[in-house]
Amino acid sequence: MRFRLLFALLFLSVSTCLAQNWDAKLLASINPNQGESGTWRFVTNNAIPISVATPFAMFAVGSLSHDENLKKNALHTGFALLANGLITSGIKNTIQRQRPFLSNPGYIHLQGQTSGYSFPSGHTSTTFSLATSLSLSYPKWYVIAPSYAFAGATAYSRMYRGAHYPGDVLGGIIVGSGTAYLSWKLQKWFYRNNRVYAKSLEDK
């Protein structure tokens, strides 16, 4: 049921992308005509490095403190980010949606530099994959709130800077959260079956 919901939401976001005029008008209300915000530049530029560094930092701390659970969660987070990157790249190259500043020159203004296709937003999918992974591993408000605040700020920064349509960001949220959730379920299944297998060996 959850898988069907994820696919339905992804289909909805793709349909939203096809409604180009609506998407562009909403983006124009977010994207400024001139000037550049240092805050949103900082968020955009650091979103991917922070996301990629997080599972490595978790694993390093887990190794130093002999915390097997932290190391396990680090691997889950890293796997989710890797899967998200592959899926996001695959969708981008399949749909091949142009960036908003290319489709709407003079209407949407790019801040900074970017390349590649637009749907879904890679920055958004990456940070939401990280936020969902951490929230599933550590379901506490002090983990969930800052994780999703960081992801939400990244999503907004991509629209503010003219790099993505709102539909791209919606697609990134669905892909990132979905891959993290599926990775978490796969991890639980793997460890559960591993324990069953280990117990069967002990009983022999």
Q: Tell me, what CATH number does 116's domain have?
A: 1.20.144.10
- Confidence band of 85 (pLDDT split at 50, 70, 90): very high
101 assigned to some structural domain: yes
Structure tokens at 40: 């949103």
pLDDT of residue 70: 95
The residue segments making up the domain with residue 96 are 66-198
Place of tokens 């800052």: 146
DSSP 99: P
Within a domain: residue 37? no
pLDDT of residue 192: 73
User: 162 in the Ramachandran plot: left (φ > 0), alpha (ψ -120 to 50) or beta?
Assistant: left
Instruction: Give the total number of structural domains in the chain.
Output: 1
- Residue 165 falls inside a structural domain: yes
Question: Any bridge partners for residue 108, and if so which?
Answer: 105
Residue 49, in any domain of the structure: no
Whether pLDDT at 19 is above 60: no
128/155 Cα distance (integer angstroms): 9
**Residue 112 has what pLDDT?**
83
How does the average pLDDT of the chain come out, rounded? 85
For residue 38, being part of any structural domain is answered with no
Q: Is residue 110 part of a domain?
A: yes
Inform me whether the pLDDT recorded for 5 exceeds 60: no
* Residue 48 clears pLDDT 60, i.e. is over it: yes
Backbone angles phi, psi at 108, to 5 degrees: -115, 130
Distance CA 4, CA 59 (A): 33
